[in-house]
Amino acid sequence: MAYSGTTAGSTSANPPRKLMDGIAGNQGTTGMTTAPNVPGGQGGAIWVYNSTNLTTDLVASNFFTDGKYLGMRPGDLVMGAQFSSAGSSVTSYWGVITGVSTSGASLSTGSVMTSTFG
């Protein structure tokens, strides 16, 4: 399923929402941009994204096509719920943004944790 970000029509737009900035606020422009496993630099914000997209869709390269525009940075956390259909089945997930470019923002395939406990 395709991502419906800020450029989608007003009735179908569903971009991720930033819940909070990183603990230290804007942390500069070095560090995580080139070494995502090194503390400091960028990232640390928490975003929420709920949709019917599969978690395998979410880890596709540049899934969040407007991620740079929204302000996503490497090291940001994304959490949310993936609904199979209205009210029938839900999976919660956490992931880490590892790459941001003008093409979009990507969740690391190795960072996504899911749960289907009800």
- The pLDDT tens digits for 11-36 are 668 889 999 887 654 444 444 444 44
Residue 6 lies in a domain: no
pTM: 0.75
How does DSSP classify residue 64? Answer: B
Contact 47, 18 (CB under 8 A): yes
Tokens of 23: 């603990």
Residue 8 lies in a domain: no
Residue 10 lies in a domain: no
Residue 7 lies in a domain: no
Instruction: Name the domain count of the chain.
Output: 1
Q: Is the dihedral of CA 81, 82, 87, 88 positive or negative?
A: negative
Contact 83, 90 (CB under 8 A): yes
Contact 74, 99 (CB under 8 A): yes
What residues make up the domain containing 73?
17-115
What is the mean pLDDT of the segment spanning 88-92? Answer: 78
What is the pLDDT at residue 112? Answer: 72
Residue 5 lies in a domain: no
